[in-house]
Structure 1
Amino acid sequence: MAIKAYGAFAADKPLQAMDITRRAVGPHDVQIEIAYCGVCHSDLHTVRSEWEGTIFPCVPGHEIVGRVSAVGGQVSRFKEGEVVGVGCMVGSCKHCHACDEGLEQYCEHGFTGTYNAPIEDAPGYTLGGYSQRIVVNDNFVLKIRHPEEQLAAVAPLLCAGITTYSPLRHWNTGPGKKVGIVGIGGLGHMGVKLAHAMGAHTVAFTTSEAKRQDALDLGADEVVVSRNPEEMAKHAGSFDFILNTVAASHNLDVFTALLKRDGTLCLVGVPEHPHPAPTVGTLIFGRKAIAGSLIGGIAETQEMLDFCAEHGIVADIEMIDIAQIDEAYDRMQRSDVKYRFVIDSASLAKV
């Protein structure tokens, strides 16, 4: 049966309504009626073909919250009516070393993305969450334990939340650690909330003095305007870990200089152009590291959702109807959102 969706027929065209079909529910599948879908910068990059390989028509969306409407005969973990989530992945090989360790995001054969990834079902590639319904293998469905009134703000946790939680956990963020979060946007605002909840002394870095109070309100213990050399110099050699969420090319040396010996600067934003080459001496003489991190595995994503439910953490969002998506993309490029757009999927019935 056809369902309503919203997507792009070409990179230079606005998004528009379209009809799509989903596969029949198989033995290991969960069918989900989508209630909310977050809007990620990856959605914009893909539909505007700013990354290679976009297949059109493209239906983006990988921050999905909804209710189970059907389950396959072999599914035991989910039942109809449950609130569930789907993030950036809907499949992986399940037998490589990475998958065996619960790190499906690093699948050696490539994970199956929630949209624009090749699959055997028609139309031959995945169609994402800007739609009324999705059918997903039960191994890639997540339980949501937040209260009903928070569900829209839970949606961005499925990408922005896990993208920041995974490196914070991997590098042992917690009490006694000094942690920096660079950038106070969709990713960065989650990084501040999570690092604070984990018990770290959390310092937010922003280029804008106007965001100082916002960062404090999110939970930062201190805020540094990174364009102010004096403010930066006060923190030289003091950080255990810095999470850099900025997706624009910039000088990394100013942040590696702030790390302690054995400290790590972790990048989660992918710039359009490469960062300038870092000064190697700064790394060598402090045994410092520049690292990267990609979302998180399914088990860790569930851990993150449970942690956020326990601590009352959700994203700060602005709800939109699906017909406002192009305006939202334009605003997102101007950083004119605090801090994440979320689509009210009920609005698809009107298009």
Structure 2
Amino acid sequence: MEGRKVIGWAARDQSGHLSPYSFTLRETGPEDVVFKVLYCGMDHTDLHQMRNEIHSTNYPLVPGHEVVGEVVELGSEVKKFRVGDIIGVGCIVGSCGECFSCKSNIEQYCNNRIFTFNGTYKDGRPTQGGFSSAMVVHQKFVVGIPEKLAPEQAAPLLCAGVTAYSPLKQFNRTDKVVKAGILGLGGVGHLGVLIAKAMGHHVTVISSSDKKRVEALEHLGADAFLVSSNSAEMEQAVNSLDYILDTVPAVHPLQSYLSLLNVDGKLILVGEAPNPLHFDSVDLILGKKTISGSFIGSIEETQEILEFWAEKGLTSMIEVVKMDYANKAFERMERNDVRYRFVLDVAGSNMEY
């Protein structure tokens, strides 16, 4: 497979506009999995990176880190997959393998992790993501898609799903009903609601307006809905939640949300805002509250969320689109005009428009 040309859709500058781009896959190693891309989820991080709003973007950039594919070739030392298997790749495709994080199976926190796109392989080549016809990935960073999980349904779980699942695992308990808050009802947020409910939590969706109330309560099964701009509602909900999963990928004030937490409550940040967030230390001190962060999930947790999803019979709420609609889809994503995740039908697209 060395030197194989593939077609992707790439951003070439800070406008973030995507257009066809031809590039060469890296040489296939003994532990590599070569796969045809079937579907790829679309994430806010893709958009931030395409526009050089977080980290430092190297152009041309082929985004996409919720990648589902079909194995077409295996390196000589790959034993856990077979040609024809449906597999998934999330946010990272490499790590050092030697540090504490790697040896603790939390390789997403390795300082030398290699991102699926806008990263750099150890040989200096840039990584390109799943908005492309094929990929080559080391077997350690590949997960199996359960047979009863449709591949397009699996795509959002590889980043958005595991981003919610990883921090919520700590609250997966049976000794009491956990009072959960999900802040923001987008790609990660809607999956957070479904995961928390499947874990038996009492779930309150927190949103800036009332327009998603019916969706949250009737479509996703949340137990309560709280409008953050309604001061009376917020006052009534003070000290009512054990945790809040903050999925908002934009600048927003933290103070009012901290007031909703019980003593020892946790505000968990998983949405990557492009500018600093602010809070008053007294809001933490007087309630023994914690602000923490969580970054995607491990490869082990990514496999877990896929199995959890299949076992619980859950359904991702997605809109499947073709590659030539990607720019329009990102425009709609910015307007929150998607319920709740775009998934690209890569294999079914004419990549060379």
Q: How does the TM-score come out when normalised to structure 1?
A: 0.95
What is residue 194 of structure 1 aligned with on the other side?
A: 195
* Contact preservation (8 Å) 2:8, 2:351: no
What is residue 228 of structure 2 aligned with on the other side?
A: 226
What is residue 126 of structure 2 aligned with on the other side?
A: 125
**Which moved further from structure 2: 188-197 or 242-251?**
242-251
CA shift at 1:269, angstroms?
1.1
Alignment of 1:1-351 (within 5 A): 1-12=4-15, 14-107=17-110, 109-121=111-123, 124-147=125-148, 150-172=150-172, 176-216=177-217, 217-276=219-278, 278-346=279-347, 347-349=349-351, 351=353
| Residue identity opposite 1:177 in structure 2 | V
> In the TM superposition, what whole-angstrom CA distance separates every residue of 1:72-131 from its partner, at most 9, and x where no partner exists?
111111011111100001000111001111101110x33100001011457x11010001
**Which moved further from structure 2: 212-221 or 280-289?**
280-289
In 2, distance between residues paired with 1:121 and 1:316? 39
* Contact preservation (8 Å) 1:173, 1:195: no
| Residue identity opposite 2:160 in structure 1 | A
In 1, distance between residues paired with 2:272 and 2:114? 19
TM-align CA RMSD:
1.5
CA shift at 1:239, angstroms?
1.1
| Residue identity opposite 2:187 in structure 1 | G
Q: Which runs of 5+ in 2 are unaligned?
A: none
Identity %: 44
Aligned residues: 347
3-state SS of paired residue (1:210) = coil
* Contact preservation (8 Å) 1:132, 1:348: no
> In the TM superposition, what whole-angstrom CA distance separates every residue of 1:165-185 from its partner, at most 9, and x where no partner exists?
111113446651101000001
* Contact preservation (8 Å) 2:9, 2:18: yes
| Residue identity opposite 2:153 in structure 1 | A
3-state SS of paired residue (2:251) = coil
In 2, distance between residues paired with 1:16 and 1:343? 14
3-state SS of paired residue (1:180) = strand
* Contact preservation (8 Å) 1:131, 1:348: no
* Contact preservation (8 Å) 2:107, 2:298: yes
3-state SS of paired residue (1:126) = coil
In 2, distance between residues paired with 1:223 and 1:306? 29
- Alignment CA distance shift 1:83-1:13 (3 Å): closer
- Alignment CA distance shift 1:12-1:210 (3 Å): closer
CA shift at 1:52, angstroms?
3.6
- Alignment CA distance shift 1:213-1:146 (3 Å): farther
> In the TM superposition, what whole-angstrom CA distance separates every residue of 1:270-327 from its partner, at most 9, and x where no partner exists?
2222222x22222112211111110011111111111011112242111111111111
**Which moved further from structure 2: 211-220 or 17-26?**
17-26
3-state SS of paired residue (1:209) = coil
In 1, distance between residues paired with 2:182 and 2:293? 14
In 1, distance between residues paired with 2:254 and 2:202? 22
3-state SS of paired residue (2:212) = helix
* Contact preservation (8 Å) 1:4, 1:348: no
**Which moved further from structure 2: 249-258 or 288-297?**
249-258
In 1, distance between residues paired with 2:220 and 2:307? 20
In 2, distance between residues paired with 1:279 and 1:14? 39
* Contact preservation (8 Å) 1:23, 1:121: no
In 2, distance between residues paired with 1:173 and 1:213? 28
| Residue identity opposite 2:166 in structure 1 | S
- Alignment CA distance shift 1:210-1:16 (3 Å): same
| Residue identity opposite 1:75 in structure 2 | V
